[in-house]
Structure formats: structure tokens, C-alpha cells
Amino acid sequence: MTIGFIGLGIMGKPMARNLLKAGYSLVVYDVVAAPVAELVEAGAKAGTSPKDVAAQSEIVITMLPNSPHVKAAVLGENGVIEGAGPGTIVVDMSSIAPLASREIAEALAAKGIEMLDAPVSGGEPKAIDGTLSVMVGGKQAVFDKVKDLLLKMAASAVLCGDIGAGNVTKLANQVIVALNIAAMSEAFVLATKAGVDPEKVFDAIKGGLAGSTVLNAKAPMVLTGNYKPGFRIELHIKDLQNALDTAHATGVPVPLTSQVMEFLQALKVDGKAGDDHGGLIQFYEKLAGI
């Protein structure tokens, strides 16, 4: 089976590599040439456009930054929709607005093309290990056809509902992660100013109730001042904006999300949009005069 893979960034490149390792034939495309060359070196074929990739593939995976990028690659000029035949399955693994997933799926359905929204959690380390968590929206029958493929990149793949449900689940995930990083940052800066080394705090509390996957992943980075992404602040701003839009459209107040969004916006203004989201602690350090 030939799989198309569009978007070979921090996440897409290792995910595509895992599909090659699992024995799939891959046709890949990115607007940047370097990662395409790396994947070709590893055994993939280079496509010349999303249309070209789709024309050669039964399943097309997209792993792009946000809704406009996915719309451009799938529905735009020389997009997937122009090359895919009826029965092709598009699996968008990017984190985008749930409404955009539904719009793209509707346009594809008019041509007999199926779509799942299947964003992931786990970050670059789990993308490399092939142990991501995938949250999926779409039809059960389509999910059943791609589940084995997803499990070559992930430790779990859960169908959460109809199209868009994967991205609603991802928004919930991103709210929890952002608020956890903010809580960790607030606590570490408090400890520092109160005279206790935050490294000791981490050591002492990680096995207790405050311990978490977020704490284990981000504290070691934050404690060494390493803000190399990972997951860039600008991408988390994108996810929280999608969360706020969805919350406002559904009439749900999300006061904590709004507040953390402002912290991230302040860091962006400070030129830190490209830092890992663990760099959120820099907002607190500045407030506290550290």
C-alpha cells in the first residue's frame, strides 16, 4: 500500500520515518526541500505537489501547522483534492480548528474522498519512538481501515466521535497541558523566591499527587533553561486560539485558558514565539524580577 505524507516538520519527519520502517511505500512532500531529501535518502519517493502525492497514494496523511495550511494543501491549487480518486482516505494529523476539519471533509466528500481528523499528543520524543497518542474523528468504517497504520506511529488511537471530534479532544488536551505548564512555572518561581531550589521541589514532589506527565517532560527542560522546541509557543497560541474560538462558539467560559493565552502572547511580543512552551516560565520570572 502506498501512503502519501505531506508536512515533514518536527513531528511529520519522524512519523514518516516510522512508516518507512514498518515497510510502507511512501510518497512525501513539504514546501521545504531539506526534509524531503532526508526522507528520500531513507527510502521514500518525493512528490512534486500535494496533488502528485495524492495521485500515487491510497491514504494521504497531512501533518501541517494549522487550518490554513491544511486547507491550502488539501483543497488549494495542486492540492490533494485534485489528485485523489474516490475511495482515497485523507488522514489529517495536524492540530487544527474542529470547524475547519468539518469544512475540509465536506469538500472532500463531494468527490467521494473520505477524511479523518487525527491529531496527536506526545511531542517529538514520542513521534520518534512511535508511541504517540492519536485522537480521531470520523466514521468507524474509515477508522477501522487506517487503525493499523496509525499504530505504526502511535501507542494508542481512539475514535472520539464524528469528524472534528479528534480536534475537539486535542483542544481539551492542549488546555490541560498549557494550564499545567503555567501551574508548574508559578510554583517553581514561588519556590525560588522563597529560597528553595526548584530542582529539589521537583525531586521531592514528582512521585506525589502533583506529579504528572507534563511535569516530568517539562521540568527537566525548564530547570536547565533549555527552551529548544519541542513544541513552539506560537503553536500553543494557535491551539489556545482554536480552543477559545470553539469555547465562544459553544458558549463555554474558559477563564484559565484566556489568562494563560495572555501569558503566551506576552512572550511572543518579547520575541520568544519560537521557544518551547516550557519557556512559559520566563513570563513568571520577569514578573517576579528573576
User: Does 150 help bind ligand NAD (rule: CB under 6 A)?
Assistant: no
List Cβ neighbours of 50 (8 Å cut-off, separation of 6 or more).
4, 6, 29, 60, 73, 74, 76, 78, 79, 80, 83
Half-sphere exposure of 270 (CA within 13 A, CB side): 14
User: Does 120 help bind ligand NAD (rule: CB under 6 A)?
Assistant: yes
CA distances for 117 relative to 61, 113, 127, angstroms: 10, 13, 17
Q: Give, to the nearest 10 degrees, the angle between helix 233-250 and helix 255-269.
A: 150
- Helix or strand run (H / E) with residue 59: strand 59-62
Please measure the distance between the N-terminal and C-terminal CA atoms of the chain and give it in whole angstroms: 55
Residue of 16, 64, 74, 219 that binds ligand NAD (CB under 6 A)? 64
Residue of 135, 163, 222, 235 that binds ligand NAD (CB under 6 A)? 235
User: Does 134 help bind ligand NAD (rule: CB under 6 A)?
Assistant: no
Residue of 3, 4, 5, 12 that binds ligand NAD (CB under 6 A)? 12
Q: Give the number of residues in contact with ligand NAD, rule: CB under 6 A.
A: 27
User: Does 11 help bind ligand NAD (rule: CB under 6 A)?
Assistant: yes
Whose CB is nearest to ligand NAD? 9
Residue of 47, 98, 123, 198 that binds ligand NAD (CB under 6 A)? 123
Catalytic positions, written as ranges: 170
286, 205, 214: which is closest to 197 by C-alpha? 205
C-beta of 92 vs 114, nearer to ligand NAD: 92
Residue of 18, 95, 169, 242 that binds ligand NAD (CB under 6 A)? 95
Cell of 181: 505548564
Closest distance of CB 35 from ligand NAD, Å: 6
Q: What is the largest CA-CA distance in the chain?
A: 64
Which residues of this chain interact with ligand NAD, rule CB under 6 A?
A: 6-12, 29-32, 35, 63-65, 69, 72-73, 94-95, 120-121, 123-124, 230-231, 235
